[in-house]
Amino acid sequence: MTALEAKSRAQTLAFAPFAFQATVALRDLGILAAIGRAGPAGLDRRAIAAETGVSEYGVSVLLDFGADLGLVARTQDRFALDDVGYFVLHDEMTTVNMDFTRDVCYHALGALTESIRNGQPEGLSALGEWPTIYEGLTHLPEPALSSWYRFDHFYSDRAYDELLPLVFDGPVRHVLDIGGNTGRWSLKCLQHDPDVTVTIVDLPAQLDAARRNIEEAGFGGRVDYYAADLLDPTRQLPGGTDVLWMSQFLDCFSEAEVTSILNRAAHAMDARARLYIVELFPDRQVFDAARFSLDATSLYFTCVANGTSRMYHSDRFRELVNAAGLTIERTIDNVGEGHTLLCCARA
Q: Which of 33, 47, 112, 227 binds its own copies (CB under 8 A)?
A: 112
Decide whether 21 or 138 has the Cβ nearer to its own copies: 21
Q: Which of 37, 39, 119, 347 binds its own copies (CB under 8 A)?
A: 119
Distance CA 337, CA 41 (A): 35
Kindly identify the residues of this chain, within the stretch 8-27, that bind its own copies according to CB under 8 A.
8-25
Kindly identify the residues of this chain, within the stretch 70-109, that bind its own copies according to CB under 8 A.
70, 83-84, 86-88, 91, 93-94, 97-98, 101, 105-107, 109
User: For every residue of 148-174, which 3-state class applies, written as one string?
Assistant: HHHHHHHHHHHHHHHHHHHHCCCCCCE
Site string for its own copies, 284-303 (x = CB under 8 A): ---xxxxxxx-xxxxxxxxx
Kindly identify the residues of this chain, within the stretch 305-334, that bind its own copies according to CB under 8 A.
308, 310, 313
Report if residue 125 touches its own copies, rule: CB under 8 A.
Answer: no
Largest CA distance in the chain: 71
The answer to whether 121 and 304 are in contact (CB under 8 A) is yes
The answer to whether 280 and 155 are in contact (CB under 8 A) is yes
Report if residue 58 touches its own copies, rule: CB under 8 A.
Answer: yes
Report if residue 61 touches its own copies, rule: CB under 8 A.
Answer: yes
The answer to whether 59 and 52 are in contact (CB under 8 A) is yes
CA atoms within 13 A on the CB side of 257: 16
Least distance to its own copies from the beta carbon of 55, Å? 6
Distance CA 147, CA 153 (A): 10
Decide whether 182 or 308 has the Cβ nearer to its own copies: 308
Decide whether 223 or 261 has the Cβ nearer to its own copies: 261
The sign of the CA dihedral 21, 25, 28, 34 is negative
Least distance to its own copies from the beta carbon of 15, Å? 4
Report if residue 33 touches its own copies, rule: CB under 8 A.
Answer: no
Report if residue 260 touches its own copies, rule: CB under 8 A.
Answer: no
Distance CA 222, CA 4 (A): 63
